[in-house]
A and B are shown apart, each in its own frame.
Chain A
Amino acid sequence: MPFNSIAFFVFFILVYTIYRLLSHKAQNLFLLAASYVFFGWWDIRFLFLIILSTSLDFACGIMIADGQISLRKRLGISSGIIISALFFLAVPWRLLGSKGSGLKSILLGLVPRREGWLIIAAFILLVLTLNLLYSRIVYLDNQRRRKLFLVLSITGNLAILCLFKYFNFFLENLEAIIRGLGGNPGNLHLNIVLPVGISFYTFMTMSYTIDVYKRRLSPATKFYEYALFVAFFPKLLAGPIERATSFLPQITAKRNISADHLIRGFQQILYGLFKKIVIADGVAKSVSGVFGSTYQISWADAIVGTLLFTFQIYCDFSGYSDIATGTANLLGFNLMRNFNFPYFARNPSEFWGRWHISLSSWFRDYVFFPLGGPYGSTTRWIRNVLITFFVTGLWHGAAWNYVLWGLYHGIMLCVHRLKETLRTSKKRSRNPLKKAVAIGSFFILTSLGWILFRSRSIDQILDIFRVLVNDLGNLKLNVEVPTKAALLGFPLFFILESLGNKFRGKRLDEVFPVPIWTAAYATMIFLIILGLANVPAGFIYFIF
């Protein structure tokens, strides 16, 4: 159920109407149920993973902070895991209706198969073991117990992430190494489905236990409130990666939906849809034509394809974030700002303060600083930066091109830092021409980085860079022309981004009179309608 679908539109209207009629506690319970419906819409089996991850971190959070969990909570969590394993994993939902349409046939068709019962048995065994170990663990010394549960939470989450996202990557590299040594490993590849949004919610749950461990946060006391923090549907699939410190209080406190929430919400949703439907989807085919080509592209193809992808990825991802933030606003929540006009950055340091802010700040707080941050010797902080950007790249996907992209940015950041330390004057130039040159130059560097990100293989990266050097000046263009909506939308997009950057992210209605900003939104609506006939492309960041 992507945001740019009719199904989501209907879903949200229904959810919103009911939500506004409920009391605070009922609102939270209802939002949790709606979020699970939203997530299960992709694949019902994904629900088990999210419930498992939620249960693990909820229990770990309490054990880290309080050292014990009440019997009622333990029973609730244990039975919750087993019931969800039965309901979401063991029951063969996909075979529903294949055995006939009668009630009896349907019910019989839903009886778990042999492997289903094995899964149930495995989880019963796991839950029993953990409960039996509980009586021993509570007597552990406080510090050891806190560490144990922190390690349990982090390894549990990383194990889930590695299994579903990186296992095949690991196997492919193992295969390559064995082949390199002259062996024949056969095909080790496993047929694993990558659950959408797994990198996003896993990072949210990990940051929660780390914050509880660092005593920055008291653990959630109610399971459903914590579960809503993890599964809140606007941000579930592609962020922002919210922190429990700012989001949990919004769940526990009564929410007041103000007119400002509504105006902000509608504006953000509209701008997000504009970026996604008009720009990102409008250039998607042109970009695929270049990066998916089987022919020798020209220099002009490589340049235009890269530039279009630069805007596609930004509009796709920030468009999603805008819709998520706007939808949350309508429900009375405030999500953190994920993008702040990143293509106006003058250097890599500024860029990472403007691009996917929730992820870059996550890596800064939970990887870079624990490694030692910018302190210590030059080699040490360079190492810290490169490690952080190595994992940032790997977070985006289980492939070497993402790692290269991460390292590319890491190296740029190191060079920038070194350049800054060598500078005698710390004052930044206010000359607009110098500023424009800096923005333009860094935009080119960012765009070149996107070649690493978008390419399908290392060979393709080399090919494109070879074309950029050897075919310099070949202006023969084979790229498919973007849709009319995109061509008409680009000028408005550039104007809005420039204004947003100039007025530091203020909304149009805060800067301009009604007749002017409504004209911009009317044009956006018109272009969205124009763009609706585009072939809708899936949100790029769902796969991360």
Chain B
Amino acid sequence: MRKLGKFTTIVAWIIGYLLIIDLGINVIFPYPKDPRNISPSALALFFEYGRSVEGKLARMTRRTDNESAPILMSGWIGNPQVKTVSGIERETSTPTITVYGMSHALQLADDMAKLGPSAKIRSFGAAGAIPSWSYAAYLSDRKQYHSDVVVLSIMTIGVPFICTTSGTTNHFDSVWPYTYPRLVQHNGSLGSLSPPFISLSGYREYFYDSAKWRSYKHWLKENDKYYDSILYRKTILDKSSIFRMLRRAYAYSSRRKKQAEVYDERNGFNQESEEVKILLTIIENFAKDARNDDSLPVIYIINNLFTGSHLYDLLANTLKNNDIAFLSSHKICAPNDPRNYLPDTHFVPEKNLELAKAMLEVVRSNLEDKSVHRKKH
């Protein structure tokens, strides 16, 4: 009985201290309540990472754009925010280059605009965009706008998430509600399943209607490989910083396992995975579609830190067989040299500028080849 009492006392003290730590974190590092505040302190953000997806969405979503977090507007294919990067008006004869992809792609477009006065640069991006999103963005944009050159950006760490359908499942620490179709590959051809909404207004309609939101979650469960109700569902535990960290640990562990089925840093890509097959088909289809539109297709391969040239190695044959122009970052930024990267996975500005220069060169030489080819015929 005495032993039990001693044990209970010890457990009570430890639980008491944990409660104090939990409460202390919430008090000392509060996350800003106003969704428009986009610069919380690093630690406030850190302790927020483990909040449920619904909890994070609730924090950033309001009924009007003015009251909501600015990032909420990003990545909607239904109401695209295509940015014309070039500041000055170009002559009609200058080619238009449109870059599709994640922030790395947008940075490339910005630097291309700085360097390339002889081209009109457009960019269509989404935070953390993965290849399925970029391809969907291209398909949507090509209906409304003709670009002479279309650049599809693909990043190593994005490939395992090809079978996701939303920015709420392809990332966990930070989420974005934008959606994109679930791609499926069957006998070499690519099919797609459209999500219930593809625009911000559609999202708000679902988010503020509990029955519709439930149906959306059901759709995610059926079609999105990374949907996990433990990570998604908002619960009372969101209020505890310790439970938030536990959820984050669970997210990392469970998602890491799924990612490793497609890619790991040591062995590279699993060629048999559905994601890899879809990616290769995306590239083939992208090149075919672009050529049908009389556009020059270019693939921008972004090799992340410590991933070597795995992505380039994976795509090399497909690019060669289909005669697709490309730029692979590993030739300019050694992927095993941390000095080439910022802590948030982006390239350091000098390297980004070098990449932009190289991309303009790829575009220039391929456009020249194209015109020579045309003249011959």
Q: Mark A483-497, 1 if CB is under 8 A from B, else 0.
A: 010000000000000
Q: Is B127 an interface residue (CB 8 A)?
A: no
Name the segment of B203-211, B241-249, B295-303 touching the other chain.
B241-249
B11 to chain A, nearest CB (A): 9
**Bound form: Cα–Cα A389–B46 in Å:** 46
Q: Is A295 an interface residue (CB 8 A)?
A: yes
Contacts of A478 in B (CB 8 A): 338-339
Inter-subunit contact B9/A523 (CB<8 Å): no
Inter-subunit contact B334/A518 (CB<8 Å): no
**Bound form: Cα–Cα A525–B242 in Å:** 10
The number of residues on chain B lying at the interface, defined by a beta carbon within 8 Å of a beta carbon of chain A, is 27
Inter-subunit contact B336/A295 (CB<8 Å): yes
Q: Is B10 an interface residue (CB 8 A)?
A: yes
B116 to chain A, nearest CB (A): 30
Q: Is B256 an interface residue (CB 8 A)?
A: yes
Inter-subunit contact A522/B338 (CB<8 Å): no
**Bound form: Cα–Cα A525–B18 in Å:** 8
Select A514's contact among B10, B252, B253, B343, beta carbons within 8 Å. B10
Contacts of B17 in A (CB 8 A): 518-519, 522-523
Q: Is B13 an interface residue (CB 8 A)?
A: yes
Contacts of A480 in B (CB 8 A): 338, 343
**Bound form: Cα–Cα A371–B20 in Å:** 59
Known A-B contacts A478-B339, A526-B18, A526-B21; A518 and B10 likewise in contact (beta carbons under 8 Å): yes
How many chain A residues sit at the interface, stated as a range, is 20 to 34
Known A-B contacts A518-B17, A522-B21; A259 and B249 likewise in contact (beta carbons under 8 Å): no
Inter-subunit contact A529/B242 (CB<8 Å): yes
Inter-subunit contact B18/A533 (CB<8 Å): no
Inter-subunit contact B337/A529 (CB<8 Å): no
Name the segment of A43-51, A286-294, A354-362 touching the other chain.
A286-294
Contacts of B253 in A (CB 8 A): 6, 532
**Bound form: Cα–Cα A481–B342 in Å:** 12
Name A516's closest neighbour in chain B (CB-CB). Answer: B13
Q: Mark A353-387, 1 if CB is under 8 A from B, else 0.
A: 00000000000000000000000000000000000
Q: Is A535 an interface residue (CB 8 A)?
A: yes
Inter-subunit contact B337/A295 (CB<8 Å): yes
Inter-subunit contact A532/B245 (CB<8 Å): yes
Contacts of A106 in B (CB 8 A): none
Q: Mark A264-307, 1 if CB is under 8 A from B, else 0.
A: 00000000000000000000000001001111000000000000
A502 to chain B, nearest CB (A): 23
**Bound form: Cα–Cα A523–B252 in Å:** 22
Select B337's contact among A293, A526, A530, beta carbons within 8 Å. A293
**Bound form: Cα–Cα A272–B152 in Å:** 47
Contacts of A532 in B (CB 8 A): 245-246, 249, 252-253
Task: Give residues 311-355 of A contacting B (CB, 8 Å).
Answer: none
B250 to chain A, nearest CB (A): 8
Select B245's contact among A292, A479, A523, A529, beta carbons within 8 Å. A529
Q: Is B316 an interface residue (CB 8 A)?
A: no
Task: Give residues 1-44 of B contacting A (CB, 8 Å).
Answer: 3, 6-7, 9-10, 13-14, 16-18, 21
